[in-house]
Structure 1
């Protein structure tokens, strides 16, 4: 595949991934959405369908990595690192574009949610009048864009993201052991179901980023968007959903080489 195919495939695919994945988070979170309060199961299946759709779209162009941890895991497994920067560049651009599209699609809902005195301050916070919110504190809609831990324990949070991503990437790498599966619709479906399973089983502690671009790109967009009372983007935690998945990708690649080759 050509460099342009890789870049376009990863950009388009990751944009669709974040549009649909961030979209379900917005639908469940924002006031006056028809899906508000639908809960964690809706989010996990929404992200699974987002992976399914995005991977189908981009598979023929770029192989549908859509995740720097997957790209790194494949590079460790294969020893081929030349296209890694190109894949990651497309993934980051796509993730930011997808997050911006979520904002466009839910523009009125963001405005309504963030200017409501009961929700603008976030859970347990003082109501915030229009025009003022404590800077730096995680905002009431940050979860639409990126992840956050339920219990802030960096070692545990890092371990959770690492373990979950190792399972994801190993499941993707081992598809190559079944003839034709890795480049088929069945392989895409298997990956989407793995993502649903990870969300249900291991998503509770951290929100299962399992993808550095999925978390970092939208977090940057959250920081840049002109949202009223949006609060901070929680940059103190932002390294965990980047470092954990990358470490998981490396571990999965090493495990594959150790156990399956």
Structure 2
């Protein structure tokens, strides 16, 4: 297997592992984070750090650190990468996202046993959902948030996202996206970060979980990021 594919798998697993940990920490009963209180700043920096660590992990194996099918697909559409690596990368990203969420769920298993559906044991621990349910506008929100992310990403000096200080820049870019555009839909901006953990929560028999997995919404964080990322890549290509 291509070492870079392994890197995309490991990197996405690390991203989801740390990011899902934030979701569990702030939603499940009797966690210390829940006890002392948390806020949107914790979520923003927690997921930003998760992306940073995931990209560094992917880079160790020589992967570009996409960790995101929307990035991979849009880069192929824009001619930045070869189409031949798209399917292996996406499979690696989805499997990594599933495994990262599963490991997190195992870590927090005693807290799932303490937390009922009405108390926060829901798919929202692992996957995104809208603050106001409006499918069209939720889709537009994901398009805009992902456009802002990928557009800014492409303007960073150098294209080695996994090298040097670039992953640290990505941390603050994700925090900025969270603060600016995240509070409408939870800023999935990454199908692997939403679809794979949603599938894990659906399939794994966690105790006390809410059986409403909100699959009717799942197309938004799947399609929206791909559209937003593609628009960003084509826009930058048009002026470069």
TM interval, shorter chain, is: over 0.9
SS in 1 for 2:78: helix
Aligned residue among 236, 246, 251 for 2:216: 236
Pairwise CA RMSD: 1.6
Q: CA deviation at 1:167?
A: 1.2
**Structure with more helix by fraction:** 2
Asked if the contact 1:56–1:185 (Cα under 8 Å) also holds between the matched residues in 2, the reply is: no
The residue that corresponds to 2:66 in the other structure is 65
Q: CA deviation at 1:25?
A: 1.0
Asked if the contact 2:55–2:162 (Cα under 8 Å) also holds between the matched residues in 1, the reply is: no
Larger gyration radius, structure 1 or structure 2 = 1
Distance 1:179 1:63, change over 3 A: closer
Following the alignment from structure 1 to structure 2, what is the Cα–Cα distance between the partners of residues 257 and 163?
A: 18
Aligned residues: 235
The residue that corresponds to 2:237 in the other structure is 257
Q: Deviations over 1:182-233 (max 9, x none)?
A: 4532221112211111111111010110000110000000101112332221
Q: CA deviation at 1:76?
A: 2.4
Distance 1:217 1:179, change over 3 A: closer
The residue that corresponds to 1:223 in the other structure is 202
Aligned residue among 108, 111, 114 for 1:109: 111
The residue that corresponds to 2:172 in the other structure is 193
- The 5 A counterparts of 1:198-217 are 198-217=177-196
SS in 2 for 1:228: coil
Following the alignment from structure 2 to structure 1, what is the Cα–Cα distance between the partners of residues 106 and 137?
A: 35
Q: Does 1:56 align with 2:56?
A: yes
**TM-score of the two chains, using structure 1 as the length reference:** 0.86
**TM-score of the two chains, using structure 2 as the length reference:** 0.93
Unaligned 5+ residue runs, structure 1?
115-119, 123-138
Q: Deviations over 1:70-94 (max 9, x none)?
A: 1122212225311111110100000
The residue that corresponds to 1:78 in the other structure is 79
SS in 2 for 1:83: helix
Q: CA deviation at 1:248?
A: 0.9
Unaligned 5+ residue runs, structure 2?
none
The residue that corresponds to 2:13 in the other structure is 15
The residue that corresponds to 1:245 in the other structure is 225
Aligned residue among 140, 156, 159 for 1:159: 140
